[in-house]
């Protein structure tokens, strides 16, 4: 178990219990940190002797809305704060269209994420403490497929026109997210992209056997319904300059991603037969001719490496081998993706670092030399560095090498000043292009023809931006650059990240642009005022779906190997209706929390006896410390007892509520809407109750 959950709930008269929502810390001592509303052992000396033992001391803090919301860890783990729990509960009720509304509303790339999201929500899911996390990504896909498969309409809400226009450069996840938000708020939004259609890195970097092209179009079309206009096959910095766009629009958002390879810096990388992963996938995804060797070696441990290895097999390679300098646990891809890659016949060699690409007499690749590695101390990123083991070199025969080691942004979009700071292979590589085989020619000149000039003869391509260590500097909160009215967001600023992370940053950037267009500057722009509208409903009648605690994770149906031969045959089949409902019932409904009314508690211990997970304990008040304002008050009682409730392990079965002879235990349901003073919603944790009326009263009505 990781961070402990805690907070003093209520106190009664002399001898009454104080109620501390909490749990055991990590074995051997305290959890790493303790935010407001969380509890942990007082010191490392207060060790526990087993996973289920009680620490000798708990810190308490007052329970509030923020603490209750943090308990909904799937939503807190999602970069766009999707109400995952809400649409899982609606799916369990068979309310698929309402579930789709919750999944779609905050996420402009919901369809794409249903197929290929990295699913940080699943990593945060509390169900993993019981058996396995819910298949939240696959459930999102089911709801999206059900919505469009049944030809349900997309009802979008767009505010009145503001008279302001915004240019968004890049139609990837960050650009689509920013464009959708700005368009829904009434701004005129124009999206410019160099590719023939929208999707950005999902279009050219994710193979069609994982993400069908028509699914990408679902998200692009949904964004377009918010009044967003798309302009394809337009390269900013080449066909039109950034400065020209800035003059045409009130603000510009640069979200061109990070889709250019960085040189491997290994002897022999100039040989014919070496092609970088992002270029290899771009050619394959756009249907361009692409030569493939018989025996392919892929270097790297990310999603690009997995996709390149599987694509090579589909394009005719006899063997495909991934070599990675660390171990499987250090790979950024999830276990499911590794399994599917291995299942299709891709071989893995771990703890192997490239030394040299070997050539035959004709200058073509015929092998590669590696050295074995071992994990050393953490590097600058916090990951343990891979250190070579002297004398452990070995060779692997191959006729094609696909490096998937690093990617960089293309700064041509920023004009001549930015083009000089490029570090991708389009700048460092000087080889002649071998059509369909070796590295493609990445553009290095910033413009086609001559640089445009304004009426006074000044070149309109000389904006100067602030850079730090090869990356464009953008404010962490406002995403603004040093050039007034130009914002930058997504992988273009951060470097390679996930689809959902880019979408989350795009949403945040849109808020900043919207506030900037309203005239806010400086600290007013940086500080986003937030209003919480919360309803906490107490109930004695909380009910969970039948057999929810015993239902195992529903395995996601996959296509058999014989149906995975071509580039467009989808690997993941997805849930049917029965499987989706069964998976939805596994949700622990973490928006519910146990509440014990201290003055009414008679310390009978029946709640602790009946709890199937053993999450309720009675301990002496001396074991409770912390900064609670009433700490001194209840510590003065001669016979004070603390009720410890481990919310992280609670399965919301309601048995304690039903067993309590004095009805002092209730199950509290949190309904929260977090928005700005102008009514723009940042987060909602309630609409499943409003949409589906699942089991309880809907709480405070909210006008949207």
CA torsion 269-272-273-277 (nearest 10°) is: 50
pLDDT at 699 over 70: no
Q: State the average pLDDT over residues 335-348.
A: 92
| More confident: 625 or 33 | 625
Q: Please state whether 466 falls in left (phi above 0), alpha (psi between -120 and 50) or beta.
A: beta
How much is the mean pLDDT over the chain? 83
Could you tell me where the DSSP H helices lie in 602-677? 606-610, 631-635, 655-659
Q: State the average pLDDT over residues 417-431.
A: 59
pLDDT at 11 over 80: no
pLDDT at 366 over 90: yes
For the chain, percent of residues with pLDDT exceeding 90: 54
pLDDT at 16 over 80: no
Q: What is the pLDDT of residue 61?
A: 60
For the chain, percent of residues with pLDDT exceeding 70: 83
What CA–CA distances, in Å, run from 3 to 447, 533, 619, 621? 53, 27, 20, 21
Q: What is the pLDDT of residue 629?
A: 60
| More confident: 239 or 4 | 239
| More confident: 486 or 593 | 486
Q: Which three-class secondary structure state does DSSP give residue 487? A: strand
Q: What is the pLDDT of residue 423?
A: 65
Could you tell me where the DSSP H helices lie in 478-563? 491-494, 499-517, 523-526
Task: For 323-385, give the DSSP string.
Answer: E-SS-GGG-SS-HHHHHHHHHTT-EEE-SEEEEEEEE-TTSBEEEEEEEEEEEEEE-TTSSEE
| More confident: 62 or 408 | 408
- Which CATH architecture fits 73-155+532-584? Orthogonal Bundle (1.10)
Q: State how far the Cα of 694 lies from the Cα of 689, in Å rounded to an integer.
A: 6
Q: What is the pLDDT of residue 57?
A: 54
pLDDT at 517 over 70: yes
Q: What is the pLDDT of residue 633?
A: 64
Q: State how far the Cα of 645 lies from the Cα of 300, in Å rounded to an integer.
A: 44
Q: What is the biggest distance separating any 2 CA atoms in the chain, rounded to whole angstroms?
A: 91
598 — pLDDT class (breaks 50, 70, 90) = confident
Find, among 344, 222, 204, 361, the residue nearest to 285 by Cα: 204
Q: State the average pLDDT over residues 448-475.
A: 78
Task: For 184-250, give the DSSP string.
Answer: HTT-EEEEE-SSSSS-THHHHSS-TTTS-HHHHHHHHHHHHTTT-EEE-S--BTTTB-HHHHHHHSS
Q: State the average pLDDT over residues 237-247.
A: 89
What phi, psi does 478 have (nearest 5°)?
-105, -15
- Give me the residues paired with residue 297 across strands: 321, 401
Q: What is the pTM of this model?
A: 0.86
Q: What is the pLDDT of residue 630?
A: 62
Q: State how far the Cα of 68 lies from the Cα of 61, in Å rounded to an integer.
A: 12
Structure tokens at 687: 């609409």
DSSP 527: -
Of 266-270, 300-304, 390-394, the one with minimum mean pLDDT is 266-270
pLDDT at 462 over 80: no
pLDDT at 353 over 60: yes
What CA–CA distances, in Å, run from 380 to 16, 263, 330, 332, 383? 52, 20, 15, 16, 7
Q: State how far the Cα of 523 lies from the Cα of 243, in Å rounded to an integer.
A: 26
Q: What is the pLDDT of residue 450?
A: 58
Q: Please state which of the four CATH numbers 1.10.10.10, 3.40.50.1360, 3.40.50.300, 3.50.50.60 is assigned to the domain occupying 265-405.
A: 3.50.50.60
Q: What is the pLDDT of residue 284?
A: 93
pLDDT at 219 over 90: yes
Where are the CATH 3.50.50.60 domain residues in the chain?
165-259+409-521, 265-405
CA triple 429-433-437, angle to 5 deg: 110
Query: 3-state DSSP: the chain helix, strand, coil percent, rounded to 5?
Result: 30, 20, 50
pLDDT at 693 over 60: no
| More confident: 227 or 565 | 227
3-state per-residue secondary structure call for 407-474: EECCHHHHCHHHHCCCCCHHHHCCCCCCCCCCCCCCCCCCCCCCCCECCCCCECCCCCCCEECCEECC
Just give the CATH number of 165-259+409-521.
Answer: 3.50.50.60
CB neighbours of residue 428 within 10 Å: 13
| More confident: 510 or 463 | 510
Q: State how far the Cα of 518 lies from the Cα of 393, in Å rounded to an integer.
A: 61
pLDDT at 686 over 90: no
83-87 long-range contacts (CB < 8 A, ≥24 apart) are: 83/684, 83/685, 83/687, 83/688, 84/121, 84/134, 84/136, 85/587, 85/589, 85/590, 85/591, 85/685, 85/688, 86/685, 86/686, 86/687, 86/688, 87/139, 87/140, 87/143, 87/688
Find, among 489, 485, 515, the residue nearest to 503 by Cα: 489
Q: What is the pLDDT of residue 50?
A: 39
Q: State how far the Cα of 190 lies from the Cα of 231, in Å rounded to an integer.
A: 7
Span between the terminal Cα atoms of the chain, in Å = 39
52 — pLDDT class (breaks 50, 70, 90) = very low
pLDDT at 44 over 70: no
Where are the CATH 1.10.1060.10 domain residues in the chain?
73-155+532-584
Q: State how far the Cα of 241 lies from the Cα of 249, in Å rounded to an integer.
A: 13
User: Residue 702: in which H helix or E strand, if any?
Assistant: none
């Amino acid at each position: 178990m990781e961070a402990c959950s805690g907070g003093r709930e209520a106190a009664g008269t002399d001898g009454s219990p104080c109620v501390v929502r909490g749990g055991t810390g990590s074995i051997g001592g305290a959890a790493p940190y303790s935010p407001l509303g969380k509890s942990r052992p007082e010191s490392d000396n207060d060790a526990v002797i087993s996973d289920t033992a009680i620490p000798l001391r708990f810190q308490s803090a007052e329970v509030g809305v923020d603490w209750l919301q943090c308990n909904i860890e799937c939503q807190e783990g999602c970069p766009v704060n999707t109400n995952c729990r809400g649409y899982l509960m609606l799916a369990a009720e068979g309310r698929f269209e309402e579930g789709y509304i919750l999944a779609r509303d905050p996420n402009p790339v919901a369809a794409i994420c249903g197929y290929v999201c990295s699913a940080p929500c699943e990593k945060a899911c509390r169900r993993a403490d019981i058996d396995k996390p819910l298949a939240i990504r696959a459930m999102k896909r089911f709801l999206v497929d059900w919505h469009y498969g049944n030809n349900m309409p997309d009802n979008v809400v767009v505010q009145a026109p503001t008279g302001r226009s915004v240019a968004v450069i890049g139609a990837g996840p960050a650009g689509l997210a920013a464009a959708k938000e700005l368009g829904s708020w009434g701004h005129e939004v124009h999206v410019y992209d160099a590719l023939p259609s929208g999707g950005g890195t999902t279009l050219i970097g994710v193979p069609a056997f994982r993400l069908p092209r028509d699914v990408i179009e679902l998200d692009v079309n949904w964004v377009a319904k918010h009044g967003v206009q798309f302009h394809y096959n337009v390269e900013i910095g080449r066909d039109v300059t950034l400065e020209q766009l800035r003059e045409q629009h009130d603000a510009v958002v640069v979200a061109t991603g990070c889709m250019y390879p960085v040189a491997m810096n290994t002897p022999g990388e100039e040989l014919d037969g070496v092609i970088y992963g992002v270029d290899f996938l771009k050619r394959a995804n756009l249907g361009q001719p692409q030569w493939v060797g018989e025996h392919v070696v892929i270097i790297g441990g990310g999603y690009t490496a997995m996709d390149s290895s599987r694509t090579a097999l589909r394009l005719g390679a006899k063997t495909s081998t991934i070599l990675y300098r660390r171990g499987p646990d250090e790979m950024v891809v999830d276990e499911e993706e590794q399994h599917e890659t291995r299942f299709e016949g891709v071989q893995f060699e771990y703890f192997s670092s490239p030394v040299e690409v070997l050539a035959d007499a004709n200058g073509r690749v015929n092998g590669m030399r590696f050295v074995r590695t071992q994990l050393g101390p953490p590097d600058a990123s916090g990951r343990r560095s891979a250190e070579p083991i002297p004398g452990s070199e070995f060779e692997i025969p191959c006729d094609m090498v696909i490096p998937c080691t690093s990617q960089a942004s293309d700064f041509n979009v920023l004009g001549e000043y930015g083009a000089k700071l490029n570090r991708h292979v389009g700048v460092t590589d000087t080889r002649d292009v071998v059509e369909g085989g070796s590295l493609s020619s990445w553009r290095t000149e910033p413009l086609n023809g001559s640089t445009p000039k304004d009426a006074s003869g000044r070149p309109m391509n000389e904006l100067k931006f602030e850079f730090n260590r090869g990356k464009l500097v953008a404010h962490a909160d406002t995403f603004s650059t040093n050039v007034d009215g130009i914002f930058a967001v997504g992988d273009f600023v951060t470097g390679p990240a996930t689809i959902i992370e880019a979408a989350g940053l795009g949403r945040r950037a849109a808020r900043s642009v919207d506030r900037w267009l309203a005239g806010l500057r400086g600290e007013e722009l940086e500080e986003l005022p937030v209003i919480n509208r919360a309803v906490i409903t107490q109930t004695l009648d909380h009910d969970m779906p039948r057999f929810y605690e015993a239902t195992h994770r529903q395995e996601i149906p996959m296509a058999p190997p014989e149906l995975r031969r071509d580039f467009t045959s989808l690997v993941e089949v997805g849930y049917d209706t029965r499987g989706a409902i069964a998976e939805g019932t596994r949700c622990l409904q973490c928006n519910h929390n146990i509440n014990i009314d201290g003055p009414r508690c008679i310390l009978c211990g029946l709640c602790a006896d009946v709890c199937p997970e053993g999450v309720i304990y009675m301990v002496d008040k001396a074991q409770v410390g912390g900064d609670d304002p009433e700490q001194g008050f209840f510590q003065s009682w001669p016979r004070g007892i603390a009720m410890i409730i481990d919310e992280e392990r609670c399965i919301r079965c309601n048995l304690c509520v039903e067993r309590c002879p004095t009805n002092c235990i209730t199950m509290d349901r949190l309904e929260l809407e977090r928005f700005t003073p102008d009514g723009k919603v940042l987060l909602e944790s309630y609409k499943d109750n409003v949409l589906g009326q699942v089991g309880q009263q809907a709480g405070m009505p909210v006008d949207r």
